[in-house]
């Protein structure tokens, strides 16, 4: 070829000349051009390795690698590999016709000779190469085939006009030289290029070296910028907990350790790998949005691909390597692709399996992290019935004494005293009087400390027929009263209605097992749940948020209490004193159930001061 004249021509396209469009609109982010060129170089190395494994190419002494070299003075950026290279005929076929992919041609030729022939081929040497023109005025290629065919030099301007001539290149492989345009001078900055390589090429399977011609050499041995064997490509048995933690810190720059990880290695037909982490959330007000990075044969595709993870698991962080997806995947494609739906379903199953295994095999550790993950687990169960079915034996209830128990175990222990009923408190400090009464009867009380907890309770009820959650202030006449003992006193009930100042107050007489508590306020479970729902609507800014659902309160007087007996006796001897005592007992009952309003607190303090003054006389 050295003897012949330069050849000239124009880039051919299958349908129409789209070269100017490629220069501006090929990708949404210009940075991706470097990913495309390094991916092409990786393909070139992978192809040669395939041919060697098939016995169709001899072994070479030099290790396979890719060099990315910046020369700011010459305004060039070079991506060079020592892979398969191209002959003149191949260069014309794969470079001068935009629509043809050299990877597709390679796979079609060799896949019949090896089941693994197509694994690892990225497949974008055709169109992806032209991303270089988004940042370049001119692009050169120096390439020499592994077959030792004459080297070829190809030069193309931003207008799509190219020249082909002989090259002086002696080594096999390909060097792509980008002459960076004035408008894209940022791509001549070393820091910018390192950032791009760390983002897009950190885990590519061929060693990548970055060199800045103007940086001072310190004599240290050159090291690759990438990890050619990322953790997700290894078998689970070959990875330690420390490996997983270090990988998490490296990828997500989070100094905190993750709660646990899920290593996925799905075989045919899904064929994807990855590692997902439950991050440690510092507090409930911290952002709960996670980050899942999508890779294609170790090539970075995109950050935070929500379409591959169910919305109720978006707090997860991790990496997924899905070679069945196209490298330049769109969100609309992900939303409708059946493969993505299967990947999503498999991830849900693996997460559920991991939770169940932790609860069964590492119970102590699982209880320690439960408070960190419960809101996500509960939300997932509320959104997905299948997730509930898979994790129901791993759902923990936190008791007011700080210990944990599964829903199944709680109900099993409750069979004798309160079958199928889960008693719970939302504020153990405020509801301490109620809790003490239940615990005195041997009834364990669950602590539901968030609004989501109380919304999760109906979810459990819906899935477990006959089971009901009852707050400790809602079922006083059931678990706490003496069996068979009832009494009524119309005059006493009327007194407490008058003393409360609430004509709509319901007053009931019961005989409690605990005689020390004179009166308690009971709140209808149903009306309280409606009140919680209205509060959620107000938080979400929903229409009708100002609607206030009336709370059904019942004051229960304890016939077993000597103090109630004393008030009853005063009805006939000192009605004024009886009313004052009734008012004070009512406010004490309210105080044990909720916070007092400003007016209620003022009245309560006045009564307290008056009683203290009387005692001091």
- DSSP letter string, 167-223: ----SSEEEEEEEE-GGGGGGG-HHHHHHHHHHHSTT-SS-EEEEETTSPP-SPPP-
* Cα(508)–Cα(557) distance, integer angstroms: 6
Asked whether residue 434 is assigned to any structural domain, the reply reads: no
Q: Are residues 83 and 27 both part of a single domain?
A: yes
Q: Which of 525, 501, 513 is nearest to 424 (CA)?
A: 525
Q: What are phi and psi of 401, to 5 degrees?
A: -90, 5
Residue carrying structure tokens 């299958």? 14
Give the pLDDT score at 417: 81
Give the pLDDT score at 409: 94
Asked whether residue 39 is assigned to any structural domain, the reply reads: yes
Q: Who has greater pLDDT, 606 or 367? A: 367
Q: For residue 349, what is the domain's CATH number?
A: 3.30.230.80
User: Which of these three, 336, 369, 402, is where a domain ends?
Assistant: 369
Q: The tokens of 177 are what?
A: 């030289």
> CA of 172: how far to CAs of 40, 52, 63, 286, 415, in Å?
15, 15, 12, 53, 78
* Cα(352)–Cα(32) distance, integer angstroms: 36
Asked whether residue 118 is assigned to any structural domain, the reply reads: yes
Report the percent of the chain where pLDDT is more than 90.
43
Asked whether residue 577 is assigned to any structural domain, the reply reads: no
Give the pLDDT score at 525: 80
Q: Are residues 240 and 358 both part of a single domain?
A: yes
Give the pLDDT score at 87: 95
Q: Are residues 205 and 354 both part of a single domain?
A: no
Confidence of residue 100 (pLDDT cuts 50, 70, 90): very low
Asked whether residue 386 is assigned to any structural domain, the reply reads: no
Angle at 378 (CA atoms; ends 372, 381), nearest 5 degrees? 140
Count helices and strands in the chain by DSSP H and E runs: 20, 21
Cα first-last separation, the chain: 121
Residue numbers of the domain that contains 361: 231-369
* Cα(355)–Cα(151) distance, integer angstroms: 58
The answer to whether residue 543 scores a pLDDT higher than 60 is: no
> CA of 115: how far to CAs of 54, 118, 274, 288, 413, in Å?
11, 8, 23, 43, 57
Q: Are residues 244 and 161 both part of a single domain?
A: no
Q: Are residues 153 and 253 both part of a single domain?
A: no
* Cα(174)–Cα(40) distance, integer angstroms: 10
Q: Are residues 134 and 262 both part of a single domain?
A: no
Contact 261, 234 (CB under 8 A): no
Q: Which stretch of 83-97, 109-123, 305-319 has the lowest confidence by average pLDDT?
A: 109-123
Give the pLDDT score at 224: 94
Q: Are residues 320 and 267 both part of a single domain?
A: yes
Q: Are residues 168 and 252 both part of a single domain?
A: no
Sheet harboring 272-278: ordered strands across? 260-266, 272-278, 317-321, 291-296, 299-302
Q: Are residues 41 and 168 both part of a single domain?
A: yes
* Cα(36)–Cα(135) distance, integer angstroms: 13
Asked whether residue 596 is assigned to any structural domain, the reply reads: no
The tally of domains found in the chain comes to: 2
Give the pLDDT score at 127: 60
Q: For residue 86, what is the domain's CATH number?
A: 3.30.565.10
**pLDDT tens, 565-589?**
899 899 889 888 898 898 889 989 8
User: Which of these three, 156, 185, 212, is where a domain ends?
Assistant: 212
């Amino acid at each position: 070829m050295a003897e012949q004249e330069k050849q000239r021509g124009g880039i051919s396209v299958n349908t129409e000349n789209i070269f100017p469009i490629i220069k501006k609109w090929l990708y949404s982010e210009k940075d991706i051009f470097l990913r495309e060129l390094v991916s092409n170089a990786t393909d070139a190395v992978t192809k040669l390795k395939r041919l060697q494994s098939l016995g169709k190419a001899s072994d070479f002494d030099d290790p396979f690698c890719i060099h990315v070299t910046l020369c700011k003075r010459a305004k060039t950026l070079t991506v060079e590999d020592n892979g398969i290279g191209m002959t003149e005929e191949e260069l014309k076929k794969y470079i001068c016709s935009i629509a043809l992919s050299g990877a597709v041609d390679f796979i079609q030729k060799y896949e019949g000779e090896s089941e693994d022939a197509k694994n690892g081929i990225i497949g974008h040497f055709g169109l992806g190469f032209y991303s270089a023109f988004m940042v370049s005025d001119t692009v050169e290629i120096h390439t020499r085939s592994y077959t030792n065919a004459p080297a070829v030099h190809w030069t193309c301007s931003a207008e799509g006009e190219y020249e082909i001539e002989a090259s002086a290149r002696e080594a096999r492989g390909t060097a792509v030289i980008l002459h960076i345009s004035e408008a894209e001078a940022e791509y001549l900055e070393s820091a910018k290029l390192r950032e791009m390589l760390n983002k897009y090429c950190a885990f590519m399977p061929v060693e990548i070296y970055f060199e800045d011609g103007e940086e001072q050499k310190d004599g240290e041995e050159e090291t690759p910028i990438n990890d050619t064997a990322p953790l997700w490509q290894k078998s689970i048995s070959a990875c330690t907990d420390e490996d997983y933690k270090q990988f998490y810190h490296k990828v997500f720059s989070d100094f905190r350790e993750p709660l646990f990880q899920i290593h996925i290695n799905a075989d045919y037909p899904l064929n994807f790998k990855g590692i997902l982490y439950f991050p440690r959330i510092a507090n409930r007000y911290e952002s709960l949005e996670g980050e899942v990075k999508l890779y294609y044969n170790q090539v970075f595709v995109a950050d935070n691909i929500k379409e591959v993870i169910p919305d109720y698991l978006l707090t997860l962080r991790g990496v997924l390597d899905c070679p069945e997806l196209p490298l330049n995947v769109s969100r609309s494609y992900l939303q409708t692709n059946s493969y993505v739906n299967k990947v999503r379903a498999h991830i849900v199953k693996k997460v559920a399996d991991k939770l169940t295994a932790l609860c069964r095999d590492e119970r102590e550790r699982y209880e320690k992290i439960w408070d960190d993950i419960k809101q996500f687990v509960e939300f997932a169960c509320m959104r997905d019935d299948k997730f509930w079915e898979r994790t129901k034996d791993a759902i923990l209830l936190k008791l007011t004494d700080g210990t944990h128990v599964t829903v199944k175990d709680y109900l099993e222990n409750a069979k004798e005293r309160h079958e199928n009923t889960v008693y719970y408190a939302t504020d153990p400090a405020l509801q301490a009087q109620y809790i003490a009464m239940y615990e005195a009867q041997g009834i364990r009380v669950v602590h539901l400390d968030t609004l989501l907890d109380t919304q999760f309770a109906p979810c459990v009820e819906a899935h477990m027929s006959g089971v009901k959650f009852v707050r400790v202030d809602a079922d006083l006449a059931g678990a706490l009263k003496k069996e068979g003992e009832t009494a009524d006193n119309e005059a006493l009930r009327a007194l407490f209605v008058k003393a409360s100042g609430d004509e709509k107050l319901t007053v009931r007489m019961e005989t409690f097992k605990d005689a020390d508590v004179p009166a308690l306020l009971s709140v209808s479970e149903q009306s309280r749940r409606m009140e919680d729902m209205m509060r959620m609507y107000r938080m979400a800014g929903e229409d009708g948020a100002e609607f206030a659902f009336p709370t059904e309160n019942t004051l229960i007087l304890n016939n077993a209490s000597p103090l109630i007996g004393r008030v009853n006796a005063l009805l006939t001897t000192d009605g004024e004193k009886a009313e004052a005592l009734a008012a004070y007992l009512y406010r004490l009952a309210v105080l044990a159930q909720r916070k007092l309003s400003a007016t209620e607190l003022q009245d309560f303090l006045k009564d307290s001061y008056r009683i203290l003054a009387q005692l001091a006389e």
